């Protein structure tokens, strides 16, 4: 059947990067199994088992499966109803000298679980530099608009002013925590190693005639060959599924950061203050030709919700494992782990696209400030009148009356906020009229927002991005080439 006749995951067929899709492909999975069998044989040979060098050489020469071998494996699995044993037989077919030694002493989880741990680590290795690029792009945006005043919102109601750049630092800070969490999860990963059918290493103890030291050395050596810092000290048949919770929780936390930022951008698009990238020939609506929908941010929100909810699969799977293991984790993890990583990968691609093309409309932002600032500035006016010799309570009453009059114009008549004109025209406020423009300067209402941006970027963002300088430079070159 063609791809048109079967359902395909939009994550792999439409959205995710080639690298992430390839990581969770059958070719990568089964090739990794062969690497695991090879390194197990190498370590067993080093520790004295009579495995001929020819067997090692043949295994090394056939780590990649071609189409014919994939077909043979599919036929074997259909016959044997066991995917690992199907691949043991096919590997032995192309490496006959190794056939007696492939999978020696191991259980299926030696290849399936160790491979999954390898994929978790490689997946995090793919995500980390992409997240660093998003942070770096947002940092440039924050720096550019560090001192552009904008309305702050609490309860989605106009509040004290902030700056466009300062608001962006709130998004960046979330992503910095995600960068830390992903790196910690990556560095904490251990290897299942060689543990046997129930984690007791009984089969390997028999292979080495009861030599406990050699069994420990085998576990350490296989772990070393795959570059993991340690082997898990104890396991059942599988590695504890709590590791999946740890990894997927970092992806779920990242999804919340993406959801928060994309939601903010959608709201700002509604206010027409900020717009996400919009291509020249892009269509916002099939019916309403004028529309410029924030479809990238909307897609981020939809996928982020999906990613956040995959964590529950990992939580229930670990909690539902019986004793040393049951098989109800298998089908679930075949879905939840690859799709979580592919979704995170897609989100980072979308976020990079958004952050590289955000458009800011200062005139619209100023219009919104002008509509609200007169009310916010009343305290400044009162303080200036007191300094000019006025009575605070009397001044407050004058301001209160004029504010209510201006609010009526705005709310009941749909007019512009004319509070400042009313103040200018009221003889009572004559002492401060020459200073009104200064008192109404939006930058005087943003506090330390610009300085906070500068300090945050210098003290927190730059050190966090330093380990990813090479990837950031590569991404910058790619952006220039587009």
Structural contact between residues 292 and 275, judged by C-beta atoms closer than 8 angstroms: yes
DSSP structural state of residue 275: E
The tokens of 208 are what? 């080495």
Tokens at 93, concatenated: 């077919």
Contacts of 189 (CB under 8 A, 6+ apart): 117, 120, 121, 124, 228, 243, 247
DSSP letter string, 199-256: SS-HHHHHHTTT-HHHHHHHHHHHHHHTT-S-B-S--SSS--THHHHHHHHHHHHHHH
Q: Which of 94, 84, 90, 101 is nearest to 50 (CA)?
A: 101
How far apart are the C-alpha atoms of 390 and 190, rounded to whole Å?
A: 72
Which of 237, 140, 130, 219 lies closest to 175, judged by CA? Answer: 130
The token duo for 39 is 């390194």
> CA nearest 24: which of 349, 335, 471?
335
Q: Give SS3 for 62.
A: coil
Looking at 285, 330, 444, 474, which residue is catalytic? 285
Contact 161, 446 (CB under 8 A): yes
- What token pair was written down for 190? 């251990």
**CA distance linking residue 116 with residue 93, whole number of Å:** 25
Report DSSP state, residue 416: -
> How many CA atoms does the CB half-sphere of 305 hold within 13 Å?
7
Catalytic entry in 2, 3, 155, 286? 155
Say whether 249 is catalytic: no
Contacts of 402 (CB under 8 A, 6+ apart): 419, 422, 423, 426
Angle between helix axes 330-355 and 108-144 (nearest 10 degrees) is: 20
Q: What's the number of CA atoms in the CB half-sphere (13 Å) around residue 235?
A: 27
**Of 320, 188, 334, nearest to 247 (Cα)?**
188
| 25 among known catalytic residues | no
Phi, psi of 250 (to 5 degrees): -70, -35
Using CB atoms within 10 A of its CB, is residue 14 exposed (0-12), middle (13-18) or buried (19+)? exposed
Q: How far is residue 259's CA from residue 304's CA, in Å, rounded to a whole number?
A: 6
Determine contact, residues 146/165, Cβ cutoff 8 Å: yes
Which residues of 243-334 form beta strands (DSSP E)? Answer: 274-275
Active site residues: 155, 285
């Amino acid at each position: 059947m063609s791809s048109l006749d079967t359902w395909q995951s939009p994550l792999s067929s439409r959205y995710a990067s080639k690298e992430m899709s390839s990581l969770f492909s059958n070719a990568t999975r089964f090739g990794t199994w062969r690497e695991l069998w090879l390194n197990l044989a190498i370590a067993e040979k080093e520790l004295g088992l009579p495995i001929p060098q020819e067997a090692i050489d043949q295994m090394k020469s056939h780590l990649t499966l071609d189409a014919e071998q994939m077909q043979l494996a599919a036929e074997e699995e259909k016959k044997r109803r066991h995917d690992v044993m199907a691949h043991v037989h096919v590997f032995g077919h192309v490496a006959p000298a190794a056939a007696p030694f492939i999978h020696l002493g191991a259980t299926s989880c030696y290849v399936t679980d160790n491979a999954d741990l390898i994929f978790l680590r490689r997946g995090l290795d793919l995500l980390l530099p992409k997240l660093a690029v998003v942070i770096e792009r947002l940092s440039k945006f924050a720096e550019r608009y560090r001192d552009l005043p904008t309305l702050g919102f609490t309860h989605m109601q106009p509040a004290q002013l902030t700056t466009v750049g300062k608001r962006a630092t709130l998004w960046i800070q979330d992503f910095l925590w995600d960068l830390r969490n992903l790196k910690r999860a990556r560095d904490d990963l251990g290897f299942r190693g060689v543990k046997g059918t129930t984690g007791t290493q009984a089969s390997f103890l028999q292979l080495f005639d009861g030599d406990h030291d050699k069994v420990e050395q085998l576990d350490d050596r296989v772990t070393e060959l795959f570059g993991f810092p340690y082997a898990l000290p104890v396991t059942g048949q599988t590695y504890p599924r709590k590791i999946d919770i740890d990894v997927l929780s970092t992806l779920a936390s990242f999804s919340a950061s993406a959801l928060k930022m994309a939601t903010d951008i959608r709201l700002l698009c509604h206010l027409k203050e900020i717009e996400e990238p919009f291509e020249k020939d892009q269509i916002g609506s099939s019916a309403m030709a004028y529309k410029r929908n924030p479809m990238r941010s909307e897609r981020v929100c939809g996928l982020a919700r999906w990613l956040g909810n995959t964590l529950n699969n990992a939580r229930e799977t670990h909690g539902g494992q019986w004793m040393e293991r049951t098989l109800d984790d298998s089908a679930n993890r075949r879905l939840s782990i690859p799709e979580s990583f592919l979704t995170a990968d897609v989100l980072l691609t979308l976020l990079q696209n958004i952050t590289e093309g955000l458009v800011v409309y200062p005139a619209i932002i100023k219009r919104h400030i002008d509509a609200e600032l007169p009310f916010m500035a009343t305290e400044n006016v009162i303080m200036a009148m007191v300094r000019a010799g006025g009575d605070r309570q009397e001044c407050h009453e004058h301001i209160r009356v004029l504010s209510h009059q201006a609010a009526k114009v705005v709310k009941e008549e749909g007019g512009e906020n004319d509070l400042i004109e009313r103040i200018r025209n009221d003889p009572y406020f004559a002492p401060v009229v020459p200073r009104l423009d200064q008192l109404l300067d939006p930058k005087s209402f943003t506090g330390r927002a610009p300085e906070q941006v500068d300090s945050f970027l210098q003290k927190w963002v730059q050190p966090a991005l330093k380990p990813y300088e090479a990837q950031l430079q590569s991404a910058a070159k790619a952006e220039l080439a587009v």
